[in-house]
Amino acid sequence: MPFTEVYGAEQFRDMANEPVLTVVCFSAVWCGPCKTIERDLDRLTYEFSNVRFAKVDADSNAEIVSKCRVMQLPTFMLVKAGQMLGYVIGADLMQLKTKIREAASKS
């Protein structure tokens, strides 16, 4: 299942307000750790098929990055129905999986 590319604040807001657990990956093309974890993220889309995955290019979406208070890349934000359910800062795949499982179990 591919990632949804986020191209603007309105699209991001609409997606975050939907009743679907969404993992938003904030990254940039120059970010080494972002590139390192990217292959693993592709596999996660199949492991967690009931979860939507989205990517926000931090360089192209400064407004979203600022509103979400992203200070480090990669940062993963879990959202559903307008609620922020958790963050994972850095390329920590195990912590990300744990947060996804926790958020999915509350759904």
**What domains, with CATH codes, occur in the chain?**
4-106 (3.40.30.10)
Q: Are 58 and 27 in contact (CB under 8 A)?
A: yes
Identify the DSSP state of 13.
H
Report cis status (omega within 30 of 0) of the bond before 74: yes
pTM: 0.93
Q: Out of 16, 24, 31, 64, which one is annotated catalytic?
A: 31
Please say if 25 is a catalytic residue: no
The pLDDT tens digits for 64-93 are: 999 999 999 999 999 999 999 999 999 999
pLDDT at 50: 92
pLDDT at 75: 98
The pLDDT tens digits for 34-64 are: 999 988 898 999 999 999 999 999 999 999 9
Q: Examine the pLDDT at 107 and tell me if it is beyond 80.
A: no
User: Whole-angstrom Cα distance, residue 59 to residue 78?
Assistant: 20
Please say if 31 is a catalytic residue: yes
Q: Are 77 and 84 in contact (CB under 8 A)?
A: yes
Q: Hunting for tokens 């592709």 — which residue is that?
A: 42
Q: Out of 6, 16, 34, 79, which one is annotated catalytic?
A: 34
Phi-psi region of 89 (alpha: psi -120 to 50; beta: other; left: phi over 0): beta
